[in-house]
Structure 1
Amino acid sequence: MARPQLQPREDREVFVVPLDVRPEHIDENGHVNNVVYVGWLQDAGTAHWNARFDEETRGKWSWVALRHEIDYLRGIEPGATGVVARTWVGDPQGPRFNRYVRIEDGEGRLCAQGVSEWCLVEARSLRPSRIPAEMLGPFSA
């Protein structure tokens, strides 16, 4: 059964990250290896966080991935160009945030989609902390 395609909410910023398809990403089946997609989910979330929050905030807080779920829909071939990750966040749930990612090829076709569950932690202690309400603003449309 096909899963519904992830669509961003209108009140969320969709952050776009260009992705490079490197020779070492290609597996013996001739397409980007599944493990690479996990890295791309993490890279997209990190890039969004780094782009929206200053160094002081990033020094105080960090994120720990709790879970990744990926649906693979279309292989990405060697030498593919124009591949992007489009990412946005859901609603905070205490210290947790779901982050959604669509990975699209150069023609805009959905190749994979994923949901990662992240936990906000204090950078020094790595203790979970409730996500402050003001943290949602920079992720909003």
Structure 2
Amino acid sequence: MTTSQTPTFEHEIAIVPRDIDDMGHVNNAVYLRWVQEAIVDYWQHISSTDAQEALLWVALKHEIVYREPLFLNDEVDALVTATGTRGSRASFLTNFRRGEDIVSEVRSSWCCVDTVTRRPQRIAHDIARRFLPS
């Protein structure tokens, strides 16, 4: 995890053969799986066990910009930064980086959900501060 004004969480990506499409590069749909894995990993890294047992995150929206294709042997990291919270929603920017190059960026919106009721849950101040400490 690197730190700056708003922390960015680094999640290593492993490209596997099933991620590759008929064009010979990572299929666009795979990025959605990676975003989910990276944000869930971020949540598990910053939150307590109690919070993980009480809350789930459900994706509401993704906007993806593909800049360069990724291939099977590429080394890729997902860089996740929380960009805001409001009510039960949190927004994130996930940049996919190969070397020093950002090859794709995903802006996504997620809803915090109570694990028991499966209803939206307002993001508590202490949770929001873990994502956005400043």
Q: After TM superposition, is the score higher than 0.5?
A: yes
Supply the AA of the counterpart residue of 1:88: T
- SS at structure 2 position matched to 1:90: strand
Supply the AA of the counterpart residue of 1:17: H
- 1:15-94 aligned at under 5 Å gives the runs 15-81=9-75, 83-94=76-87
Superposition RMSD in Å: 1.5
Identity score, percent? 28
Residues of 2 paired with 1:98 and 1:126: CA distance? 20
Question: What TM-score, normalized to structure 1?
Answer: 0.87
Q: Is there any run of 5+ residues in structure 2 with no aligned partner, and where? A: none
- SS at structure 2 position matched to 1:91: strand
Residues of 1 paired with 2:32 and 2:101: CA distance? 19
Aligned residues: 131
Residues of 2 paired with 1:61 and 1:23: CA distance? 33
- 1:111-130 aligned at under 5 Å gives the runs 111-130=103-122
Residues of 2 paired with 1:66 and 1:90: CA distance? 15
After the TM superposition, which segments of 4 or more aligned residues of structure 1 sit over 6 Å from their partners?
none
What's the CA shift string for 1:83-135, capped at 9, x where partnerless?
A: 10000112211111111100011x22111000111001111111112111111
Question: What is the deviation of 1:79?
Answer: 1.3
Residues of 1 paired with 2:42 and 2:132: CA distance? 12
2:93 matched to 1:96?
no
Residues of 2 paired with 1:96 and 1:137: CA distance? 14
Higher strand share: 2
2:88–2:120: 8 Å Cα contact kept in structure 1?
yes
Question: What is the deviation of 1:21?
Answer: 0.9
